[in-house]
Structure 1
Amino acid sequence: MTGSPLVWLLPAAALRASLAEMAPDGARGCEGVALWLGRRLAGVVTVTHVIGLRGPGVIRRPDFLSISPELLDDVTDIAIAKDAYLVGQVHSHPGSWVDLSDLDKRSGIRAPGYLSVVAPHFASDPATPPGRCGFHVFNGARWRRLAWWERPWRVVITAGEVPLILVGESR
């Protein structure tokens, strides 16, 4: 990516809804995930929707998470209908570790400007503040974790509501 670094506008409600979406998986000792749709204009990415994943197309285990291509196709259809695209995600890890694992880096979504947030303690607390999460951006070549001092101006926590859209079959 060239030019000025991207800035993400992330509604606090989107982060809370995402953590709440992942909390039942965390209660079972498994990783959880929520995807974020949004729009990009002039170097600013705005998160507009939270996507909760359901059914056999998403596998959640204590140290593994996988989303099927078919379920991602369904997410793409919704993004197109909402005039948005997949801008980021949040997933959870056990304990306080909020870096991306080697598997996350190798097998996760790797699109320039994609934001990947890691929530601690299997997202067991929907009120987890952003400062306790790890914020990572894919720059087109590799993942980079945003430094503690950089995160507040690169990922700006905003007010406002965002809808939660459930994709796939019931849990």
Structure 2
Amino acid sequence: MNLLTDLFPLGWQHYLLGGLCLGAGVALLFVCTGRVGGMSSVFSSTWTYALRTRPFFQQARLVQSRGWRLVYALGVVLGAAVWWLWAGGGVAQTTQVPTWQLLVGGFFVGYGARLGNGCTSGHGICGLGSLQWPSLLAVLTFMATAFVTANLIAWGLA
């Protein structure tokens, strides 16, 4: 087998189309409104509804932007549902990873996004798209860490 079919057993075209849709959506949001559509900010602003006693979640920038960010998040979820039904054939994807490991991984991803001042998509799509040098450093760090981790797992060292 060749490398392309080994890396992408279900094909690569849907990944390319999905990436183009993400990039176009973020670019359209920025061009039409001047707003940056990073998902960790959407997550933080959504928590402003529930965590009213936490000063971090009551920052003016989060509270004042939560309305459009909630609509933005709903659009992402609905877009994913439409994509799944249309392109995925409506077949649910499953994993053999235990629920507790998914939760622990989710916690670390959330912590890393907060620590890194944004998530991978925010830095990779929005930050690089607007030529932000801190985003370039963040993306290079994310990618280097991912390469090292993937190789450690492949070699059975992790």
Same fold (TM over 0.5): no
Rg larger in 1 or in 2? 2
Name which structure has the greater RCO, CA cutoff 8 Å, separation 6+: 1
Higher helix share: 2
Higher strand share: 1
